[in-house]
Amino acid sequence: MKKLDRKVAIVSGSGRGIGRAIAMKLASEGAKVVVNDLDAAPAEQTVADIKAAGGQAMACAGSVTSDGFAETFVKTAIDGFGGLDIIINNAGYTWDNVIQKMTDEQWQSILDVHLTAPFRILRAAADYFRHQSKLEAEAGREVFRKVVNISSVAGTGGNAGQANYSAGKAGIIGLTKALSKEWGRYKVNVNAVAFGMIRTRLTEAPAGGDASIDVEGRKIKVGVNPDLLAMMERSIPLGRGGTPEEAAGSVYLLCTPESNYISGQTLICGGGLSL
């Protein structure tokens, strides 16, 4: 029997990168997964890959910042798979600048995706968690559910040029701690994972020059200069950046039954580096 058999998980931003690796990992351990991405095609591809590997999944494409998305995301899991046990708030991107050049739009957009969207998803799940916990308590059963919010070492220690991202990722740690105290009585473990340097499309600069991603019509520059990337990796005690699969492993740890007495904590997954 796999560790997450009969569990239902929703993973935001899971069509690509770390989110995809998290969805694949949870599914490989028995969870039924609702996959989300801003674009339908990557979400459907992750669903297809999970099914091809013998797992169960369905897609819920859309922007986590859109009005009403949180309720749709939660409802998809409950209606489609009969419940909700695990919430992974992973969706996000960076839009960097030094503070004197950062616009209000840059600031607010990053707070919206990294802090407000997770808040809305968790709020949308609150009634279901409370109701199920009451039923389980009346039946004399103790059933644990899991929330893992994704933070960053930029949130634990700050990072120059990322005032917006650092603020959002610090805020998600505060939300994690507050909700662990609110939801403890419902047997919900609420934790965070703060990633260090994980190699994804957001860090890999192409050999030919600059790269960008499209976020709801905005062209956002991504990628780190290869020389700077190499210098960053030399500062990591383990000697390299992490893989999406290694990042997913740290999230999975906080979804297992072994984490049932861990709540309100922030686990740094950074190869020994913490800012």
Classify residue 94: in a domain, yes or no: yes
Structural domain span for residue 91: 8-197+245-267
pLDDT in tens, the chain (275 residues): 899 999 999 999 999 999 999 999 999 999 999 999 999 999 999 999 999 999 999 999 999 999 999 999 999 999 999 999 999 999 999 999 999 999 999 999 999 999 999 999 999 999 999 999 999 999 999 999 999 999 999 999 999 999 999 999 999 999 999 999 999 999 999 999 999 999 987 666 554 456 666 787 777 766 566 776 788 888 999 999 999 999 999 999 999 999 999 999 999 999 998 76
Please tell me the distance from the alpha carbon of residue 177 to that of residue 165, in angstroms, as a whole number.
19
What is the tens place of the pLDDT at every residue in 101-145?
A: 999 999 999 999 999 999 999 999 999 999 999 999 999 999 999
Classify residue 220: in a domain, yes or no: no
* Residue (of 92, 135, 136, 143) closest to 113 by Cα position: 92
The tally of domains found in the chain comes to 1
What is the CATH classification number for the domain harbouring 53?
3.40.50.720
Classify residue 257: in a domain, yes or no: yes
Classify residue 212: in a domain, yes or no: no
Classify residue 205: in a domain, yes or no: no
Classify residue 202: in a domain, yes or no: no
Classify residue 143: in a domain, yes or no: yes
- Give percent helix, percent strand, percent coil of the chain, each to the nearest 5: 45, 20, 35
- The predicted model scores a pTM of 0.94
What is the tens place of the pLDDT at every residue in 81-101?
A: 999 999 999 999 999 999 999
Q: In a 3-state reduction of DSSP, which class is residue 56?
A: strand
Classify residue 150: in a domain, yes or no: yes
Active site members: 165
